């Protein structure tokens, strides 16, 4: 290679590097100042509010109570033998 060819290759590489840098900043936005905020929560207090009496009353269904349907005498409910 001649000296002139090497200079043209270096100049072409430099121009393409500058062009790709400018194009990347244009497409991807470059450095932007973001204003990020985090959600805040209320502090925990020892105050307890009484629940709504429409949902929590003596006539309500107790969902924590076990419900048994039938006598439960079958200890193997699924037939595990092959036909």
Residue 1 is part of which domain span?
1-30
Q: Does any domain span residue 53?
A: no
Q: Would you state the structure tokens that stand for residue 77, as one six-digit string?
A: 């409910």
pTM for the predicted model, two decimal places: 0.36
Q: Does any domain span residue 69?
A: no
C-alpha distance from residue 49 to each of 52, 67, 75 (Å): 9, 30, 46
Query: Average pLDDT in the 54-64 region?
Result: 80
Confidence at residue 31, expressed as pLDDT on a 0 to 100 scale: 67
Q: Does any domain span residue 37?
A: no
Q: How many domains does the chain have?
A: 1
Q: Pick from 14, 18, 37, 35: which is nearest to 26 by CA?
A: 18
Query: Average pLDDT in the 28-34 region?
Result: 72
Query: Average pLDDT in the 71-81 region?
Result: 69
Q: Does any domain span residue 12?
A: yes
Is residue 83 predicted with pLDDT exceeding 60?
A: no
Q: How confident is the model at residue 19 (pLDDT cuts 50, 70, 90)?
A: very high
Q: Does any domain span residue 23?
A: yes
Q: Does any domain span residue 68?
A: no
Q: Does any domain span residue 36?
A: no
């Amino acid at each position: 290679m001649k000296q002139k060819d090497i200079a043209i290759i270096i100049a072409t590489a430099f121009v393409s590097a500058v062009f790709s840098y400018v194009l990347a900043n244009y497409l991807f936005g470059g450095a932007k100042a973001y204003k990020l905020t985090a959600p805040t929560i209320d502090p925990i207090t020892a105050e307890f509010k009484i629940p709504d009496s429409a949902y929590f009353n003596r006539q309500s269904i107790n969902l924590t109570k076990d419900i048994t349907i039938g006598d439960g005498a079958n200890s193997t409910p699924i037939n595990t033998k092959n036909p």
